[in-house]
């Protein structure tokens, strides 16, 4: 199964540009109010704080682009940001039989996917992906696919014994 929200990259770029323009406009209004206009009577701070908070929420929810591919014998995960220098891109590929468990954690508007896989060095390894920008249907499809992989792996292990 393949899952990707890469086609929404232009939307995320537009939102990012719009928020930055709001912040620049807010700084301009704040500066004009402080030094020239004196109309708002202390309310000019809202023109900086609101765009700043919205921009912070946009960046703190995590990497916007998530791709998942379970075709073949390997699982492939990619997680990237629309602004390349903001955070490094994640890309992991491993055989399906290494997948032990997964967990999706949602806190307010932030969603994270935690994958536990077997590792030669420490026994297990935890991989973290930011999936805040996936739709509910995409998240459910991802959960279904990962559950299916775990179930297939467990049935193969029980058949070997």
What's residue 54's pLDDT?
A: 92
What's residue 23's pLDDT?
A: 93
Within 10 Å of residue 48's Cβ, how many Cβ atoms?
15
The whole-angstrom distance between residue 90's C-alpha and the CA centroid of its chain comes to 11
Q: Which pTM does this prediction carry?
A: 0.81
**Domain ranges for the chain:** 1-161
For the beta sheet containing 99-107, the strands, ordered from the edge strand earlier in sequence to the opposite edge, are 99-107, 110-119, 123-130
Contacts of 27 (CB under 8 A, 6+ apart): 47, 48
- Token duo for residue 123: 């026994």
CATH of 1-161, one of 1.10.3470, 2.60.40, 2.40.10, 2.30.29: 2.30.29
Range list of β-strands (E), 2-160: 2-4, 65-69, 74-80, 90-95, 99-107, 110-119, 123-130
Q: What is the pLDDT of residues 67-104, one digit of tens each?
A: 999 888 899 999 988 887 777 888 999 898 888 999 99
CB < 8 Å & 24+ apart, contacts of 104-111: 104/131, 104/139, 104/142, 104/143, 109/57, 109/61, 110/60, 110/61, 110/62, 111/139
DSSP designation for 57: H
Residue 23 and residue 75 in contact, taking contact as beta carbons nearer than 8 Å:
no
**pLDDT band for position 146 (50/70/90)?**
very high
Question: How far apart (Å, rounded) are the C-alpha atoms in residues 139 and 129?
Answer: 12
């Amino acid at each position: 199964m393949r899952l990707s929200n890469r086609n929404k990259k232009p939307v995320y770029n537009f939102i990012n540009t719009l928020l930055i323009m709001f912040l620049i406009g807010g700084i301009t209004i704040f500066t004009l109010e402080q030094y020239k206009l004196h109309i708002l009577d202390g309310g000019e701070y809202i023109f900086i704080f609101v765009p700043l908070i919205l921009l912070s929420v946009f960046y703190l929810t995590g990497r916007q682009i998530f791709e998942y591919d379970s075709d073949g014998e390997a699982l492939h995960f990619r997680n990237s940001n629309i602004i390349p220098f903001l955070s490094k891109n994640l890309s992991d590929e491993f055989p399906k039989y290494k997948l032990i468990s997964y967990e999706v954690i949602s806190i307010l508007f932030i969603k994270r996917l935690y994958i536990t896989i077997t590792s030669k060095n420490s026994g297990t390894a935890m991989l973290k992906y930011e999936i805040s920008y996936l739709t509910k249907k995409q998240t459910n499809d991802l959960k279904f696919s990962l559950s299916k992989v775990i179930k297939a792996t467990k049935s193969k292990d029980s058949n070997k014994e």
